[in-house]
Structure 1
């Protein structure tokens, strides 16, 4: 039931496998795919509060989804469905408590929790005072989280990176805990670190030892076995995977990974099913291919030349599936 209230219900953040928030990637198809393979909690891509405030919530009866659509452009900024209502986390970029609350109120009835991004090192985030820029503003962090916690009926969480010293990270984590958030995700890298730099699991462990709220450990989780390794190393309540899940979402399965080519096709089919944004679909497919193969091969070049989901369906010989889906929606193409 659309917008059905589960006010007061709390996600249990213990012993969970979590799909990390990833820009341009964490849309409905990948979230549903990860959940199908075993992810317990799935984060959407970060959406900036300014963007949200230009949007309105709409019921999409054709797809069976709830869409947050930008007025004027009609572009879908966030799409979810009732099937993921109890596990999807909406991640927001913000630098202002009042604006964050106004934006969160647009989506809070359709998601399981709202998370504030405090770790993104990208220039567009930091220049706007968002993401990792918040790490040096503990008073603002406290204001944002306290405001959301007091006024929303869904759990509030945040995701941070490591600060310059373990002591500083622990102090910030303790301050965050006092706001009443339900969980804290910690990426085991500092702002200046690159993905190739090893994640510092020991510094995540310092945070776990210092707070009583659930800590979600993130960093260098690529195989199902890594979920256990990082939990043992850090003592974290739950574990979050980013790049490993992007490359092959079946990493969440205790049965082991499926061939990435099969996972790729499942992702495409879910993109067709949920009418995913074409740019997002192409970007995600190319990230998968670039990890396992080469974008300069014919497959990569064909993806670049594809303009529609129908083009991708033809490329991967999923024409019949594409036609079936669109016929069931009363469309003919």
Structure 2
């Protein structure tokens, strides 16, 4: 059944966001398809990126957490293990691939993540024992009724496009029968790895089989399995698509070794790619062991190079950065992250939240804009306006409350359906609006223009020094105008 909270019209609008015709796709790869590699593939030209296969049981044990400091959405286990991490940059292009053998568990996973991903995929092609023994992956290829149940349940109950990825069956007629069953469920596309369950990369990919499947169904077919044998350059991706007659192409191993395979201008030198990867690994606090593994894949065939030997010895993410002379970048990001975390803790302690009648939230912090403590190049209002524009949000809308007796002002700003205000009153409307903008920026974990802490302390020290100097001058002047001076009554 379709979720009652999602109308048919709304469902059509949401599922139309991601299509699978004429696309370059990063394939789901165990340990490789984590956030840094997905973002890197998008930067280099991929249209859609699949995460690594995630098992339904594990996802259902996780809790969705909005990580304000990193700007990510994390699905986290009780012990702190991050099962899946994503961010706004890939929201309209990332597909979550799940390993499942049960329709209802599959739907629970889809409902858990559907607001944070662009599509849902069911793995029906993994030949590994850990997947097949659980009735998942390629084990589903011989269970057409279960395939139909899982896909039908997902298509009818999820508001995002549903796809599946399969391998070839021993007999071509059985393969065609199965893909027709898949098509009948309403899936948006079918990914086909052109090899049988027992075949490995050393075996030739069967382009003719993929072509026959493409002609047998009306939904887009995504060709997979062409790395090395056919795909070695960007131009080869199109050749593989033509040979297989598919709508789109999914690249695995060639992208694992160098994700700039998606660049129309040609692949980049591997050290450039590694530096780009490390930036994302640092920016999104990627797990050290996973980052090291991905770098080892990028260094395949280069084991004698000095960087490869240093890579093996690295024991922290910073040491990985040192290998490619990026430790300064690492240190600057960590320092900025610590500052953001400190601000977040201060905000959490001080923020007051109130639900309004329309379902929105009013956030209030006791905070005041002091011009000398903020960057002279910009203002909180300008920063907030630019942030809204960059995130495709409506411009901030300010409203003003006036204290008629004392002629003081307090502003509230409406951003993304919520309201933000400072509890401080100001003498000018402009300062009141800056107060509200600062509250919004800090709630959103966006830099508001406040100068570095040490600079602020310097201003405070300078202000104190000038105050003491003024007090001394005042005292001296008063002394000179009294009779308490040499020769006076108190000599």
Q: Report if TM-score (shorter chain) is over 0.5.
A: yes
- Tell me the CA shift for residue 10 of structure 1: 3.4
The match for 1:204 is 210
Contact 2:17 2:92 survives alignment (8 Å): no
Structure 1 counterpart SS, 2:83? strand
Contact 2:76 2:82 survives alignment (8 Å): yes
Higher relative contact order (CA 8 A, sep 6+): 1
Measured in 2, the distance between the counterparts of 1:234 and 1:315 equals 41
Structure 2 counterpart SS, 1:79? strand
Q: Please point out which of 148, 153, 156 is paired with 2:159.
A: 153
Measured in 2, the distance between the counterparts of 1:327 and 1:66 equals 21
Measured in 2, the distance between the counterparts of 1:305 and 1:123 equals 31
The match for 2:17 is 10
Aligned length: 325
Contact 1:56 1:106 survives alignment (8 Å): no
- What value does the CA root-mean-square deviation take over the aligned residues? 1.5
Within 5 Å, which residues of 2 pair with 1:13-32?
Answer: 13-32=20-39
Measured in 2, the distance between the counterparts of 1:315 and 1:239 equals 34
**Change in 2 beyond 3 A, CA 1:318/1:13:** same
Q: Please point out which of 233, 253, 269 is paired with 2:243.
A: 233
The match for 2:481 is none
Contact 2:162 2:187 survives alignment (8 Å): yes
- Tell me the CA shift for residue 331 of structure 1: 5.2
Q: Please point out which of 284, 290, 293 is paired with 2:302.
A: 293
The match for 1:80 is 86
**Change in 2 beyond 3 A, CA 1:154/1:209:** same
Contact 1:7 1:153 survives alignment (8 Å): yes
The match for 2:314 is 306
1:68-126 superposed Cα distances (whole Å, 9 cap, x missing partner): 1112x111110100111110000000011111111222111100000000000111001
Alignment TM-score, normalising by the size of structure 2: 0.64
1:130-151 superposed Cα distances (whole Å, 9 cap, x missing partner): 0010111110111100011111
1:258-304 superposed Cα distances (whole Å, 9 cap, x missing partner): 111211221122111111111211111111212x311x655334323
Structure 2 counterpart SS, 1:66? strand
Alignment TM-score, normalising by the size of structure 1: 0.94
Unaligned runs of 5+ residues in structure 1 are none
Structure 1 position 39 matched with structure 2 position 46: yes
The match for 1:55 is 62
Structure 1 position 178 matched with structure 2 position 187: no
Contact 1:222 1:245 survives alignment (8 Å): no
Measured in 1, the distance between the counterparts of 2:171 and 2:232 equals 26
Measured in 2, the distance between the counterparts of 1:197 and 1:119 equals 16
Contact 2:307 2:324 survives alignment (8 Å): no
Contact 1:222 1:241 survives alignment (8 Å): no
Comparing 219-228 with 90-99, which one deviates more in the overlay? 219-228
Ranges of 4+ aligned residues in structure 1 off by more than 4 Å:
none
Within 5 Å, which residues of 2 pair with 1:234-249?
Answer: 234-249=244-259
Q: Please point out which of 99, 106, 115 is paired with 1:109.
A: 115
Structure 1 position 326 matched with structure 2 position 334: yes
Q: Please point out which of 248, 259, 270 is paired with 2:269.
A: 259
Measured in 2, the distance between the counterparts of 1:192 and 1:206 equals 21
The match for 1:126 is 132
Unaligned runs of 5+ residues in structure 2 are 1-10, 341-491
